[in-house]
């Protein structure tokens, strides 16, 4: 059966059925998936059953994979796989919870010089209630900005940092159960990226800031820069730009980090357990 693509009625996202993903998918199918990704930005590919090794091999069809800098919650045999889980075993978290990964709107790895081009999350276990993930369409967010704001930010760069201690908007969550200083003392240089990014494939402009990683505007003092960032952060999460996904076991969601932001919505109701495997594909220096 050929691949079926059913766009959602939201500003982004499409459901894909009729495929069985693996490293040996033919080049034509990989090209179709890439084209669908650039058109819909978030692909919910249903009914997959990928081992960690198979997810790595499939993800590598789209580029080199990035290993998370903290080194925590990586799959012991396949370090490009980050384990996300709220299960606690013998008092220790099985994986990163949303306190570490995802509890504020962001695009993956924008604190790096080369942020991620795209990421994949594969659902192994899902909670009955809570644990959704939401994505925002940053082409639409940019397009909807008032002209004077577009002119104001078009040539500006923003500063992105990994360290939450330097980001009052993200803060350290109360359920952050490890040594905050050890976690954030890993040296990761700040990055500076255009606030309006040109998508490397489509050439379209996207709004490229997020409250989790963007802390300031280059060359602008905080008295002017912080209110502008607040305005952009409020704007980019307007409901008309958002698609919220309720996970099913077997979902493999593949998204485009250049043109979206995302959020772990939280709210998992105990004893619900959500366990996902994430891979992130390396990208280019934004321009």
* Chain residues in the site for ligand SIN (CB under 6 A): 84, 98, 101-102, 133, 262, 264, 278
DSSP state of 286: P
Cα separation, 285 vs 214, in Å, equals 16
Minimum gap (Å) between residue 82 Cβ and ligand SIN: 8
The smaller minimum CB distance to ligand SIN, of residues 138 and 217, is found at 138
Minimum gap (Å) between residue 61 Cβ and ligand SIN: 20
Minimum gap (Å) between residue 154 Cβ and ligand SIN: 28
Record the tokens describing residue 176, joined without a space.
């952050």
Record the tokens describing residue 237, joined without a space.
């999460």
The smaller minimum CB distance to ligand SIN, of residues 133 and 167, is found at 133
The C-alpha torsion from 274 through 38 and 13 to 48, rounded to 10°, is: -40
Record the tokens describing residue 70, joined without a space.
């903290």
Minimum gap (Å) between residue 73 Cβ and ligand SIN: 12
Minimum gap (Å) between residue 233 Cβ and ligand SIN: 16
The smaller minimum CB distance to ligand SIN, of residues 52 and 102, is found at 102
Minimum gap (Å) between residue 72 Cβ and ligand SIN: 14
The smaller minimum CB distance to ligand SIN, of residues 45 and 84, is found at 84
The smaller minimum CB distance to ligand SIN, of residues 152 and 248, is found at 248
67: nearest Cα among 81, 84, 77, 57:
81
Q: Among all residues, whose Cβ is closest to ligand SIN?
A: 102
Identify the residue whose tokens are 């994430």. Answer: 278
Record the tokens describing residue 123, joined without a space.
């659902």
Cα separation, 59 vs 4, in Å, equals 20
The smaller minimum CB distance to ligand SIN, of residues 169 and 204, is found at 169
- Return the bridge partners of 281, or none: 65, 118
- Per DSSP, the three-state class of 165 is helix
């Amino acid at each position: 059966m050929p691949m079926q693509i059913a766009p959602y009625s939201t500003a982004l996202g499409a459901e894909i059925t009729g495929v069985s993903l693996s490293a040996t998918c033919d080049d034509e199918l990989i090209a179709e998936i890439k084209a669908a990704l650039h058109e819909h930005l978030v692909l919910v590919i249903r009914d997959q059953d990928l081992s960690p090794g198979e997810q790595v091999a499939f993800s590598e069809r789209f580029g080199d994979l990035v290993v998370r800098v903290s080194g925590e919650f990586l799959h012991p045999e396949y370090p490009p796989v980050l384990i996300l889980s709220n299960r606690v075993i013998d008092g220790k978290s099985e994986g990163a919870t949303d306190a570490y990964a995802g509890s504020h709107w962001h695009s993956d790895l924008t604190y790096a010089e080369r942020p991620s081009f795209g990421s994949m999350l594969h659902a192994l276990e899902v909670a009955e209630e809570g644990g959704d993930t939401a994505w925002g369409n940053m082409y639409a967010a940019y397009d909807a900005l008032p002209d004077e704001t577009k002119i104001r930010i078009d040539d500006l760069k923003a500063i992105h940092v990994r360290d939450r201690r330097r980001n009052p908007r993200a803060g350290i969550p109360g359920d952050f159960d490890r040594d905050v200083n050890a976690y954030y003392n890993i040296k990761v240089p700040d990055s500076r990226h255009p606030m309006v990014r040109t998508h490397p494939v489509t050439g379209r402009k996207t709004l490229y800031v997020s409250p989790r990683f963007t802390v300031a505007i280059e060359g602008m003092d905080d008295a002017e820069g912080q209110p502008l960032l607040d305005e952009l952060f409020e704007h980019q999460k307007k409901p008309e730009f958002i698609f919220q996904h309720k996970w099913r076991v077997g979902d493999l969601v593949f998204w485009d980090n250049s043109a979206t932001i995302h959020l772990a919505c939280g709210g998992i109701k105990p004893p619900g357990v959500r366990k996902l495997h994430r891979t992130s594909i390396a990208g280019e220096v934004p321009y």
